[in-house]
Amino acid sequence: MDTSLYSNALMRPCTCKLKEGTQRTKKLIQKPPGIAGKSGGYDLREAMGLSKKTRRYNGYLKSVRALGESVLDPRKTWRHQPAVRRAEVIALVRIN
pLDDT (0 to 100) of residue 96: 62
- Cβ atoms of 74 and 66 within 8 Å: the answer is no
| Residue 20 within any structural domain of the chain | no
pLDDT (0 to 100) of residue 3: 39
pLDDT (0 to 100) of residue 1: 40
Q: What is the pTM of this model?
A: 0.53
Query: What is the span of the domain harbouring residue 85?
Result: 49-96
| Residue 17 within any structural domain of the chain | no
- Cβ atoms of 26 and 1 within 8 Å: the answer is no
Could you state, in chain order, the average pLDDT of each consecutive group of 10 residues for the chain (96 residues)? 38 47 58 79 84 90 88 92 90 77
- Cβ atoms of 69 and 76 within 8 Å: the answer is no
| Residue 12 within any structural domain of the chain | no
- Cβ atoms of 20 and 27 within 8 Å: the answer is no
Distance CA 85, CA 75 (A): 14
Q: What letter represents residue 91's amino acid?
A: A
